[in-house]
Amino acid sequence: MIVTVGSISLDTTRTPFHTAEEVLGGSGSYFTLASSFFTPTSLIGVIGTDFPPSHMKTLEQRMDTRGLEVKEGRTFRFDSSFGYDLGVRTANKTELNVFGDWTPKVPEEYRAADYLYLGNVGPQQQLHVLDQMDGPRLTVADTIEFWIENQRNALAEVISRVDGMLLNDQEVRQLADTTNIIKGARAIMDLGADFVIVKKGEHGAVLLTKHMIFPTCGYPLESIEDPTGAGDAFAGGFMGHIARRGRQDDQTRKEAVIYGNVMGSFVVQKFSVDQLLTLTEAQIEARYRKYKEMVTF
């Protein structure tokens, strides 16, 4: 079982081609909808009393929701826009609502889980979740620029206590204060992580351990509808594959990075989490094989 903590939001996403209003979003939703194809996943998160029953049903069908807390008030909302190249997101409005001062609680029955993914919540909240666990075999954490800027010490403690960090290239540069992502990833390993995965959006991802570099390219796509959630879906594919194999050797980690790329490539082909709702395991395996065939020489 994978346990994860992350946000659950109602997203309004605007591209020059389409606007989706109050659709299911949040790092926890994307991660879990992706990882649950591989391994049963339990999501720790918070929603308001206004959370639409249809979204609740979507989550219930795919994950253990006993860790979902319903708090009096409004659900976290995020309104953002993409320009024509879908490369740069502009935040229009962020309403944290019930997510703002939430303290995540790990249900008793989750504490013995072997796999823990600390999605994008604050480092203090990540540490709080980590403190409640019995000692997972693999813990991986994500973060965002806001926490790097505002809670660097707590974040350093997170890094010292997890096995792996999953960051995008910009976050690596900011956290390690270097323009070179390889150097940056090594500096983050010096803080205590055994491995770092640098996500580079459409350009793929690089896995670094103390003795290995595994650079990968993104799965080539001819059209993208909504880049939201690609990094979280990547994380879901990565953790999901490792958990289903029950192994953490180099080969399994490499495969997991490719499953990460594959899940990230699916999610951007439709708005919101839509692609993750209709996808099949057979399609995931087919794209993995196609990717492998494409890059082999």
- Regarding 215 and contact with its own copies (CB under 8 A), the answer is yes
Q: b vs e for 223-247, b when ≥16 Cβ sit within 10 Å of the residue's Cβ? A: ebbbbbbbbbbbbbbbbbbbbbbee
- Regarding 88 and contact with its own copies (CB under 8 A), the answer is no
Nearer to its own copies among residue 140 and residue 206 (C-beta): 206
**64-72, 123-131, 207-215, 231-239 -> range binding its own copies (CB under 8 A):** 207-215
- Regarding 222 and contact with its own copies (CB under 8 A), the answer is yes
- Regarding 204 and contact with its own copies (CB under 8 A), the answer is yes
- Regarding 73 and contact with its own copies (CB under 8 A), the answer is no
**105-113, 131-139, 146-154, 222-230 -> range binding its own copies (CB under 8 A):** 222-230
Decide: 41 and 1 in contact? Cβ < 8 Å.
Answer: yes
Least separation, in Å, of the C-beta of 245 and its own copies? Answer: 13
- Regarding 237 and contact with its own copies (CB under 8 A), the answer is no
Q: Which of 111, 137, 152, 203 binds its own copies (CB under 8 A)?
A: 203
Nearer to its own copies among residue 74 and residue 186 (C-beta): 186
- Regarding 294 and contact with its own copies (CB under 8 A), the answer is yes
Nearer to its own copies among residue 90 and residue 179 (C-beta): 179
Least separation, in Å, of the C-beta of 111 and its own copies? Answer: 33
Contacts with its own copies: how many residues (CB under 8 A)?
34
Nearer to its own copies among residue 103 and residue 179 (C-beta): 179
Q: Which of 53, 54, 72, 85 binds its own copies (CB under 8 A)?
A: 85
3 state SS for the chain? CEEEECCCEEEEEECCCCEEEEEEECHHHHHHHHHCCCCCEEEEEEEECCCCHHHHHHHHHHCECCCEEEECCCCCEEEEEECCCCCCEEEEEEECHHHCCCCCCCCHHHCCCCEEEECCCCHHHHHHHHHHCCCCCEEEEECCHHHHHHCHHHHHHHHHHCCEEEEEHHHHHHHHCCCCHHHHHHHHHHCCCCEEEEECHHHCEEEEECCEEEEECCCCCCCCCCCCCHHHHHHHHHHHHHHHHCCCCHHHHHHHHHHHHHHHHHHCCCCCCHHHHHCCHHHHHHHHHHHHHHHCC
Query: Which candidate, 1, 85, 34, 83, places its Cα nearest to that of 261?
Result: 34
Least separation, in Å, of the C-beta of 201 and its own copies? Answer: 10
**57-65, 132-140, 253-261, 269-277 -> range binding its own copies (CB under 8 A):** 253-261
Give residues 174-193 in contact with its own copies (rule: CB under 8 A): 179-180, 182-183
Given the rule CB under 8 A, which residues bind its own copies? Answer: 84-87, 179-180, 182-183, 200, 203-204, 206, 212-224, 251, 254-255, 258, 292, 294-297
